[in-house]
């Protein structure tokens, strides 16, 4: 029988999608008010792997990632997802979100994204939220799974997650 122990804290990330790039700053400010300062912010990237969000968000759609300095317990993810959903609803106009906020976390071995949608490859985390291991860290790099969203499988996104993982790893290192 294995010994029960608490998991290591993880690095909170939020992927943001919008056709109105000025909203990135407003969203980052709202997220920082709740989760503390950011440790990393990506460049703004085109989101062109799917048209899934076009009708709701408009076009063209842009992506930006933020990661937070303060590490979190992995089981905080459902509450964070519920909070980001509340932010999206607060900014909605005529029932349409102007920005999509997708929280998740990076650990040394995986990128987990939170979702409200169940599927065969997702585990229920509580509070109506499921978790998906979107990327696995194997053989020195981030590797996609058959179910990984096409954008997360790109070299650009995996490079961003590599940078976030390096910052996370540095935070875990004992103080010198």
**DSSP states of 67-121:** EESS-B-GGGHHHHHHHHHHHHHHH-BTTB-SEEEEEEEE-SSEEEEEES---TT
- Per-residue pLDDT, 100: 98
Please indicate, yes or no, if residue 176 is contained in any of the structural domains. Answer: no
**Residue range of the domain that includes 77:** 11-171
Please indicate, yes or no, if residue 4 is contained in any of the structural domains. Answer: no
Please indicate, yes or no, if residue 63 is contained in any of the structural domains. Answer: yes
- Per-residue pLDDT, 95: 87
Phi-psi region of 3 (alpha: psi -120 to 50; beta: other; left: phi over 0): beta
Please indicate, yes or no, if residue 48 is contained in any of the structural domains. Answer: yes
- Per-residue pLDDT, 176: 41
Please indicate, yes or no, if residue 111 is contained in any of the structural domains. Answer: yes
Number of structural domains in the chain: 1
Query: In angstroms, rounded to a whole number, what is the distance separating the alpha carbons of residues 136 and 109?
Result: 6
Whether the CB-CB separation of 14 and 66 falls below 8 Å is answered with yes
Residues of the chain with pLDDT under 50: 176
How high is the mean pLDDT of the chain?
96
Please indicate, yes or no, if residue 60 is contained in any of the structural domains. Answer: yes
Query: In angstroms, rounded to a whole number, what is the distance separating the alpha carbons of residues 29 and 15?
Result: 14
Please indicate, yes or no, if residue 2 is contained in any of the structural domains. Answer: no
């Amino acid at each position: 029988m294995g010994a029960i122990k608490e998991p290591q804290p993880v690095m909170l990330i939020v992927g943001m999608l919008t056709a109105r790039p000025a909203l990135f700053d407003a969203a980052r400010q709202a997220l920082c008010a709740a989760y503390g300062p950011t440790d990393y912010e990506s460049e703004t990237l085109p989101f062109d792997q799917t048209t899934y969000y076009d009708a709701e968000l408009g076009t063209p759609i842009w992506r930006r990632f933020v990661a937070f300095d303060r590490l979190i317990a992995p089981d905080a993810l459902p509450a964070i997802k519920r909070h980001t959903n509340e932010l999206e609803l607060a900014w909605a106009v005529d029932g349409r979100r102007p920005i999509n906020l997708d929280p998740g976390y990076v650990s040394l071995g995986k990128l987990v994204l939170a979702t409200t949608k169940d599927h065969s490859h997702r585990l229920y985390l509580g509070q109506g939220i499921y978790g998906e291991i979107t990327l696995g860290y194997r053989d020195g790099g981030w590797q996609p799974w058959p179910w990984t969203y096409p954008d997360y499988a790109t070299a650009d996104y995996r490079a961003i997650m590599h940078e976030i993982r390096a910052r996370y790893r540095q935070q875990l290192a004992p103080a010198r």
